[in-house]
């Protein structure tokens, strides 16, 4: 089994929220974006990844992230960009469409984007909405990694089985890597952080 030496966790701070890249931070740095369905655990993963409890806002009600949220990582290393969750049914169709435009506009227009982390619930796999996102990555030529969250919700045997099945499927669909993750136990943090920091030039 491959063992990844845990990289030091960089400092992080919230910078701003905005609806489109035209209002993004002026400082040009590489960007890592985080995408996923509402309530998939996106903000919890970011907090776990950076060893912070409340850096990215979480809530029991889905749809907390409604804009592009920029976090400065390691002073001058990169930005993490938390994209709006998609698929939250308990808002108007017009608001759902607006959030979708924010996501599509960012993926299309950001010249600094280096990698997208697509966050999937390991129990549910790839939903129809996730399928649309993956197709969008291909159309726009974006590199992506899959993070399988809520691995702690399954038994060890069930989790291993799901990871094996989803790994084959997602790699065949273009994922650069597939990382099982538990925000509760921080399982997968070293692997994912290593991949992302390498992507922005930190060994």
Q: Is residue 185 part of a domain?
A: yes
pLDDT band for 169, please (50, 70, 90 cuts). very high
Total structural domains within the chain: 1
Is the Cβ–Cβ distance between 116 and 8 less than 8 Å? no
pLDDT score of 54: 81
What pLDDT digit, counting tens, does each position of 102-130 carry? 888 899 999 999 999 999 999 999 998 89
pLDDT band for 89, please (50, 70, 90 cuts). very low
Q: Is residue 7 part of a domain?
A: no
For the chain, state the CA radius of gyration: 16
Q: Is residue 66 part of a domain?
A: yes
Is the Cβ–Cβ distance between 79 and 73 less than 8 Å? yes
Query: Three-state DSSP class for 8?
Result: coil
Q: Is residue 178 part of a domain?
A: yes
Output the six-digit token pair for 3.
Answer: 């063992």
pLDDT score of 167: 95
Is the Cβ–Cβ distance between 83 and 33 less than 8 Å? yes
Q: Is residue 30 part of a domain?
A: yes
Query: Three-state DSSP class for 71?
Result: strand
Q: Can you give the residue range of the structural domain that contains 57?
A: 12-199
Q: Is residue 3 part of a domain?
A: no
Q: Is residue 2 part of a domain?
A: no
Point out which residues pair with 179 in neighbouring strands.
Answer: 147
* CATH code of the domain covering residue 160: 3.40.50.300
Q: Is residue 55 part of a domain?
A: yes
């Amino acid at each position: 089994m491959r063992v990844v030496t845990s990289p030091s966790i960089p400092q992080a701070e919230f910078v701003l929220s905005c609806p489109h890249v035209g209002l993004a931070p002026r400082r040009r740095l590489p960007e890592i974006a985080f995408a996923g369905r509402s309530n998939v655990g996106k903000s919890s993963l970011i907090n776990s990844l950076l060893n912070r409890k409340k850096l990215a806002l979480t809530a029991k009600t889905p749809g907390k992230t409604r804009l592009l949220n920029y976090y400065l990582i390691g002073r001058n290393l990169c930005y993490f960009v938390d994209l709006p969750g998609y698929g939250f049914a308990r808002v108007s169709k017009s608001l759902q469409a607006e959030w979708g435009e924010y996501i599509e506009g960012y993926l299309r227009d950001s010249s600094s984007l280096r990698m997208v982390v697509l966050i999937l619930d390991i129990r549910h796999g790839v939903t129809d909405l996730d399928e649309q996102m993956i197709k969008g990555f291909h159309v726009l030529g974006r590199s992506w990694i899959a993070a399988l969250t809520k691995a702690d919700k399954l038994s060890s045997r069930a989790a291993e089985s799901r990871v094996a099945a989803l790994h084959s499927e997602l790699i065949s669909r273009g994922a650069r890597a597939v990382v099982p993750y538990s925000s509760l136990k921080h399982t997968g943090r070293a692997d994912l952080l290593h991949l992302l920091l390498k992507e922005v030039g930190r060994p």
